């Protein structure tokens, strides 16, 4: 084995470019481990987590490039570094090709008739750019995070004054007039209008509507994660509801969010009750009845994403595909088969999630089924992990949380962090089942199976060599029309011995049943 750590001073590269290069390098024969990233304070712990330690990394600055490699031998090491350099030069040449603009003003002048601006810049500049776009009469999807609450409120009030929509900040998903913005799936047009403060929640709902009920989406309006807080007051959510109320293509309204403030929830229900269209509202983990909606006969309340999607299909009078109806007998059979191969002491579940809403939905279910449960972003009733990088007993990890994504590419785009964590969790002799999500669609990795399946197989081989077996359960959030080809992705996971469920919650039920009789939970 050969290990080499290189630090190049003042050699800045975009994190997306470095992620793409890392993925290509990992595909090379003889490459065991790789970390190619800028030496930011947020990236250094991850480099150490990958097993690379050097004083040069500790003293490097945010504008310095770190290339850390482990290969089969020195000859392979030299070839790998040469390949990295070639890819860096190639990416540099590509940046000079194509139509590019140095400012929002230039882009507006170059695209007459545009009415939406997608803004993704560092947080300290995001509010300024969003204000410019609104002033020019553009609706805004503000992908950037780290925008102050004060700026968010001011921007949303400005948008309302101008009759525009500001989606965000930290808004990752929207579908406007059939066009996906940010992370979105390819779905058909249809009668369901969605307002969501949850990117992967919107994606899951779109998938359930299409795959389970053959229904399409008129609009999917993202609000940003803080919109339903008391300080922001649901400004975008209320504007979105007003828009859907007047949209002739929208027959039913579907709303998804983590629990809002009580004051905002009351505003939301009051507004929906005046619309005259049926609505399904899912505030994740918030049981129906608080606040009281008994007199609001056009509203159905649900606690999970799955329930919200299926309730909407039922309201539209469509049949539900049998794959989306939980078969307790089938789950029991899967669980019994997996348990028969476990060694004594294999008792714990580990959940690894790219989607924050998937992690949240799973925690809601898990806390009612298991004890000794930990998470890095816990809901009430679940203990906090001491270290997000180290699981304890039953653990649920949101790999899209800030501690994993500051200065790095999101795992939906680059699932190598998920693959690495799969290997680490499977090496724990107390682990029985690993639950993970796979998110497809525009913006997501073009072939997640190519990254995750090798990790699953390596974990299975390692466990088998130790006389153990580890169960794997996943859910693919996507449609057949997505660029990754959902059917082909599912086929490859099934061939690798992974149980593939129709929804995130269904996958969680399977994983729980596998460990239920193995623990005190």
- CATH classification of the domain holding 147: 3.40.50.720
Q: Quote the CA–CA distance of 79 and 81 in Å, as a whole number.
A: 6
Give Cβ neighbours of residue 19 (< 8 Å, ≥ 6 apart): 408, 409, 413, 414, 416
* Assigned domain for 180 exists: no
Residue 124 Rama label (left phi>0; alpha psi -120 to 50; beta): alpha
Closest CA to 18 of 1, 4, 38, 45: 38
* Assigned domain for 196 exists: yes
88 and 15 inside one domain: yes
Q: How many residues does the chain have?
A: 521
Grouping H, G, I as helix, E, B as strand and the rest as coil, residue 278 is strand
Residue 66 token pair:
């770190």
Domain end marker among 94, 120, 149:
94
* Assigned domain for 254 exists: yes
Residue 424 token pair:
């680490």
Give Cβ neighbours of residue 197 (< 8 Å, ≥ 6 apart): 222, 223, 224, 225, 227, 228, 237, 256, 257, 258, 260
Domain end marker among 45, 66, 94:
94
CATH code of 69's domain: 3.30.1360
Q: Quote the CA–CA distance of 92 and 72 in Å, as a whole number.
A: 29
Grouping H, G, I as helix, E, B as strand and the rest as coil, residue 65 is strand
Bond into 291 cis (ω within 30) = yes
314 and 330 inside one domain: no
In contact, 243 and 236? CB cutoff 8 Å = no
* Assigned domain for 508 exists: yes
* Assigned domain for 432 exists: yes
The alpha helices in 223-292, defined as continuous H runs, are 235-245, 262-273
Instruction: Report residue 349: phi and psi, to 5°.
Output: -105, 140
426 and 455 inside one domain: yes
203 and 115 inside one domain: no
Give, to the nearest 10 degrees, the angle between helix 356-366 and helix 199-213. 80
Q: What is the pLDDT of residue 402?
A: 82
Q: What is the pLDDT of residue 292?
A: 53
pLDDT in tens, the chain (521 residues): 899 999 999 998 877 788 778 878 888 889 988 989 888 887 888 888 888 999 999 999 988 999 999 999 999 999 999 999 999 988 666 555 456 777 888 888 888 888 999 998 878 889 999 999 999 999 999 998 889 999 999 999 999 999 999 999 999 999 999 999 999 999 999 999 999 999 999 999 999 999 999 999 999 999 999 999 999 999 999 999 999 999 999 999 999 999 999 999 999 999 999 999 999 999 998 877 655 544 567 899 999 999 999 999 999 999 999 999 999 999 999 999 999 999 999 999 999 999 999 999 999 999 999 999 999 999 999 999 999 999 999 999 999 998 888 767 789 988 989 999 999 999 999 999 999 999 999 989 999 999 999 999 999 999 999 999 999 999 999 999 999 999 999 999 999 999 999 999 999 999 999 998 654 44
Task: Determine the structural domain holding residue 45 and report its residue range.
Answer: 2-94
* Assigned domain for 175 exists: no
Q: Quote the CA–CA distance of 229 and 470 in Å, as a whole number.
A: 41
In contact, 5 and 55? CB cutoff 8 Å = no
Cβ density class 242-277: b for 16+ within 10 Å, e for less: eebbeeeebbbbbbbbbbbeeebbebbbebbeebee
311 and 404 inside one domain: no
350 and 482 inside one domain: yes
337 and 486 inside one domain: yes
370 and 397 inside one domain: yes
Domain end marker among 52, 71, 94:
94
* Assigned domain for 179 exists: no
340 and 313 inside one domain: no
CATH code of 194's domain: 3.40.50.261
259 and 373 inside one domain: no
How many domains, the chain? 4
Q: What is the pLDDT of residue 520?
A: 45
- DSSP β-ladder status, 299-302 and 278-283: parallel
Closest CA to 430 of 337, 335, 342: 342
356 and 501 inside one domain: yes
Grouping H, G, I as helix, E, B as strand and the rest as coil, residue 124 is helix
Give Cβ neighbours of residue 364 (< 8 Å, ≥ 6 apart): 284, 285, 303, 304, 379
DSSP label of 56: H
Q: What is the pLDDT of residue 215?
A: 98
Cβ density class 55-90: b for 16+ within 10 Å, e for less: eebeebeeebbbbbbbbeeeebbebbbeebeebbee
Residue 334 token pair:
């899967």
319 and 332 inside one domain: no
* Assigned domain for 7 exists: yes
């Amino acid at each position: 084995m050969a290990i080499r750590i290189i630090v190049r001073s003042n050699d800045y590269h975009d994190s997306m470019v470095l992620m793409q290069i890392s993925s290509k390098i990992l595909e090379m024969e003889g490459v065991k481990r790789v970390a190619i990233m800028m030496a930011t304070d947020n990236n250094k712990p991850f480099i150490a987590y990958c097993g690379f330690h050097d004083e040069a990394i500790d003293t490097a600055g945010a504008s310095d490039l770190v290339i850390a490699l482990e290969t089969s031998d020195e000859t392979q090491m030299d070839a790998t570094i040469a390949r990295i350099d070639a890819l860096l030069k190639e990416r540099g040449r590509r940046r000079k090709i194509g139509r590019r603009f140095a400012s929002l003003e230039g882009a507006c002048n170059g695209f007459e008739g545009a009415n939406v601006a997608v803004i993704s810049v560092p947080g300290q500049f995001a509010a300024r750019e969003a204000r410019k776009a609104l002033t020019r009469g553009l609706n805004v999807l503000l992908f950037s995070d780290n925008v102050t609450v004060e700026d968010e409120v001011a921007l949303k009030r400005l948008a309302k004054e101008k009759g525009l929509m500001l989606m965000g900040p930290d808004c990752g998903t929207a579908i406007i007039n059939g066009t996906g913005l940010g992370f979105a799936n390819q779905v058909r047009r249809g009668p369901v209008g969605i307002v969501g403060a949850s990117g992967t929640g919107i994606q899951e709902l779109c998938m359930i509507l299409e795959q389970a009920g053959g229904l399409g989406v008129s609009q999917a309006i993202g609000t940003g994660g803080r919109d339903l807080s008391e300080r922001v007051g649901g400004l975008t959510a209320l504007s979105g509801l007003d828009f859907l109320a007047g949209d002739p293509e929208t027959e039913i309204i579907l709303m998804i969010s983590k629990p809002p403030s009580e004051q905002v929830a009351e505003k939301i229900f009051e507004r929906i009750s005046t619309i005259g269209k049926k609505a399904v509202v899912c505030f994740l983990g918030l049981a129906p009845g608080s606040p009281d909606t008994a007199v609001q006969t056009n509203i159905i309340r649900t606690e999970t994403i799955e329930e919200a999607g299926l309730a909407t299909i039922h309201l539209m009078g469509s049949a539900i595909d049998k794959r989306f109806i939980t078969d307790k007998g089938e789950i029991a059979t899967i669980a019994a088969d997996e348990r028969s191969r476990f060694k004594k002491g294999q008792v714990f579940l580990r959940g690894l999630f790219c989607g924050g809403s998937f992690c949240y939905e799973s925690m809601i279910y898990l806390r009612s089924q298991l004890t000794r449960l930990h998470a890095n972003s816990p809901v009430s009733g679940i203990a906090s992990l001491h270290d997000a990088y180290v699981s304890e007993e039953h653990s649920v990890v949101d790999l899209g949380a800030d501690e994993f994504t500051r200065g790095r590419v999101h795992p939906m785009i680059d699932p190598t962090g998920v693959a690495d964590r799969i290997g680490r969790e499977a090496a724990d002799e107390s682990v029985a089942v690993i639950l993970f999500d796979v998110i497809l669609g525009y913006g997501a990795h073009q072939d997640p199976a190519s990254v995750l399946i090798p990790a699953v197989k390596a974990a299975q081989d390692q466990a088998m060599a130790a006389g153990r077996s580890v169960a794997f359960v996943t859910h693919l959030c996507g449609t057949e029309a997505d660029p990754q080809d959902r059917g082909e992705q599912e086929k490859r996971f099934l061939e690798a011995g992974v149980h593939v469920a129709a929804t995130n919650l269904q996958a969680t039920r399977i994983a729980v049943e596998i460990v239920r009789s193995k623990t005190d939970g």
